[in-house]
Structure 1
Amino acid sequence: MLTIETTQDTFFLKKNTINCKGKLLNLDELVVMGILNLTPDSFFDGGLLNNNQEIIEKVQKMLSDGATIIDIGGYSSRPGAAEVSEKDELDRVIPIIKLLIKQFPEIIISIDTFRSNVAKQAINAGAAIINDISAGNMDANMFATVKELQVPYIIMHMQGTPQTMQEKPTYKNVTLEVIDFFAKKVNELNKLGINDIIIDPGFGFGKTIEHNYELLNHLADFEILELPVLVGFSRKSMINKVIKTTPQEALNGTTTLNTLALSKGANILRVHDVLETKQVVDLYKKMKVNTI
C-alpha cells in the first residue's frame, strides 16, 4: 500500500491558485462547485430544469448558498449513459452559458465536457474552466485546445468510457495506478505550458465500491502531485449501495464523505446541494482555525 507522509509538515508545496479569466481563485479557501445538469437523463436531477427562468433561479440559489463555481454539463456521464451528439451538447450548453454570463456577470462557469470543440465554444461564450472527465483520452485535440485557451483544466481519472466504465473495473492497486495516471498526464500538460491543473480521482468512474473507498482512504496521498484536488461524491451509488438509500435520500451520506474528503486535503467539492456543502466547509474551516 502507498504510505506517503502527508501531514502539515510535508515538504510538498501544493499549487492552490488558478487564474479564471484574470480572476485569481484561491483554492485554499475550499471551494463549492454547484452542478447544473442540462441533460434529460442524469442520475439525480436529469430533466428537472425546463426553461431559462428555472435555470436562472436554480443558479441564483446556488450562488446565494455559497457556490464559487457553477459546473455546466450537457452530456450525462452516468454509467451506461446514451451517446449525445456534439451538436446536441452544444445546443444544450452554449445558450445557457451566454444567458448566465449576461444575468450574473461575475459568475465563474466550468464546462463539463470531453469534447475540445464544445470546450472551446463554451470558453468563447464566457466559461472560465474546462472540466474533462476523460483527461484528454476521448478527444486527441483537447490538450492543444487547453493550451490555446490558457484556462484552468480539471482532469479526471476514468477507466473506460461512460458506456463501459462499470464493466468489471480492475486494478492491482487503485491508488498507485490513479496517481501514476495523473503524474503522466500532468507531465504531458506541463510540457505544453499548461500549469493551472486540478485533479479529480473520479469516484464512481470505472471503479467498484471497494476501489472508491480505498481511494478516499488514501486521498491525502495525492498531495504528492502538488495540485488542487476536486472530489465528486454527490448522491452517487458509492453512498447508496452502502447505506441502502436512493439518490434522493443520499444527502446525509454525501455530507459525510465530503467532510472526510476535506480532512484528507480536498480543495473543491462538486455537489448538487450547495447550501449544505457550504455549511460543511464553514464548520471544517472553523475547526481548522481552532486546531493547535
Structure 2
Amino acid sequence: MDSLAAAPGTGPATSPLPLVRSARARRFEDLPTDRTLVMGILNVTPDSFSDGGQFAQADSAIQAGLKMHCDGADIIDVGGESTRPDSVRVTAEEEQQRILPVVEALVKAGALVSVDTMNASTAEKAIQAGAALINDVSGLEVDPAMPALIARTGAHYVLMHSRGAVRSSDPHAEYDSVVDDVITELTKLRDQFYAAGATPEQIILDPGLGFSKHGNDNWELLRSIGKLNGLGHRVLIGASRKRFLGSLLARSGKAAPPLERDDATVAITALAAFSGVWCVRVHNVGPSLDAVKTTAAWKA
C-alpha cells in the first residue's frame, strides 16, 4: 500500500501517518507477481545468531541494505533486536535508535522496507519513516497494541506463530499435531486483527520455523505449505541458516555453523517457491533470487 491510511470502515477515523517515502520508493503494487519474493535480512544488532555485530552501526547497515537493494532484494527486513535464545531484550527506545536512520535511508534510496519488531511503538515510528511492512515474531505475545496499530495505519503485517518468550529454548514446543495446532493458533491470532479492523489483505502468515519448534516440527510445517496457503493469506517462510538446518548438515556430531547453511537455505527457497509461498526471508539474497527465478521459469 502506498497510502498507509486505514481503508474505509477498517479502523478509527484518524489522519494517515506522515510518510517520508520518496517518489521513486518501491510500493507493494510494484512487486513481481510471477514468482516468489525474496526478503533480505538486515540485523542492526550486536548479537544476532548469524551476523550479529556485522552491521551494528547505522552506516554499515545502510551500506549493507543498499547492496541488498542493488542485488535485487524485493523487500529489506530491518531488525534492531536479536531473538537468539541467550539474547537480552533491549528497550523500544534503543531499538528505534538503531533502526530508524537505516529505514529512512533505505526508503529514500527506493527500497521497500519491512521492520522486524515486537513493539507497537517501534512499528508506528517505522511506518512514519516509510516502512510498509511490520514483521512481528512474537506471536502477539509482547504487545497487545499491535492489532489496533495495523488496522489504523493499513500497513502490511507478518503474523508469525510462536509460543511463549521467543528467547527461550523451544518453550511449549509440544503439539498434538504441529501443523493443525499452528494453523489453529494462527487463525485465532488473525481474528484479533480482524476484530481491530484490519483487512485480510494486510495479513501475511509465517509458521515460525525454529520458534517453539523441535527439529522435525519444522520439516512437518514445510511439507504442509499447501495447508498454510489454503488459509487464504500470503505465506512467508523464514528458514535461513536456522538451527534445524545446522542439525541436518551435522558432521561428526557437530552442527554446521550458520554460514555453512546457505546451500540448504537455497534448497528450501526453491522448494518453497515451487509450493507457491509468497516470500522467503533470507540472509544471502543473490542465490535465493536465482532460485525463485529458476523455479518460476520451470513452473511457467
On the 8 A contact 1:159/1:207 being kept in 2, the answer is no
1:87 aligned to which of 85, 89, 93: 93
Per the alignment, residue 248 of structure 1 pairs with 259
1:72 alignment partner in structure 2:
78
Q: Paired residue for 1:157?
A: 161
1:233 partnered with 2:244? no
Q: Structure 2 matches for 1:38-77, cutoff 5 A?
A: 38-49=44-55, 51-77=57-83
In the TM superposition, 1:10-29 aligns within 5 A as 19-21=1-3, 23=27, 24=29, 25=31, 27=33, 29=35
SS at match of 1:230: strand
Aligned residues: 269
Q: Secondary structure at the match of 1:198?
A: strand
Conserved in 2, the CA contact under 8 Å of 1:20 and 1:108? no
Comparing 109-118 and 132-141, the one that deviates more: 132-141
> Paired residue for 1:214?
220
What's the offset of the Cα at 1:279? 0.3
1:109 aligned onto 2:113:
yes
Matched-pair contact (CA < 8 Å) for 1:165–1:207: no
Higher alpha-carbon deviation: 63-72 or 19-28: 19-28
Residues 172-211 of structure 1 deviation map (CA, whole Å, 9 limit, x = unaligned): 1000011111222222322333121100000000100011
* Letter in structure 2 aligned against 1:89: E
Identity %: 35
Q: Is the 8 A contact 2:62 2:102 kept in 1?
A: no
TM-aligned CA deviation for residue 263 of structure 1? 2.1
Return the offset for 1:51. Answer: 4.1
Consecutive unaligned residues of structure 1, counting only runs of 5 or more, are 1-18
Q: Which moved more, 1:161-170 or 1:124-133?
A: 161-170
Alignment partner of 1:257 out of 268, 282, 285: 268
One-letter code aligned to 1:279: D
| CA distance, structure 1, for counterparts of residue 44 and residue 244 of structure 2 | 23
TM-score by length of 2: 0.85
Instruction: Tell me the SS of whatever aligns to 2:170.
Output: coil
SS in 2 for 1:225: coil
8 Å contact 1:28–1:267 — kept in the other structure?
no
Describe the shift of the 1:163–1:283 C-alpha distance in structure 2 as closer, same or farther (beyond 3 A).
Answer: same
CA distance in 1, matches of 2:33, 2:146: 24
1:275 to 272, 277, 286: 286
Over aligned residue pairs, what C-alpha RMSD do you find? 1.7
Note the residue ranges of structure 2 that are not aligned, 5 or more in a row.
5-26, 251-255
2:185 maps to 1:184: no
What is the aligned partner in structure 2 of residue 171 from structure 1? 175
Query: How far apart are 1:165 and its partner, in Å?
Result: 4.7
Is 2:36–2:276's contact at 8 Å kept on the other side of the alignment? no
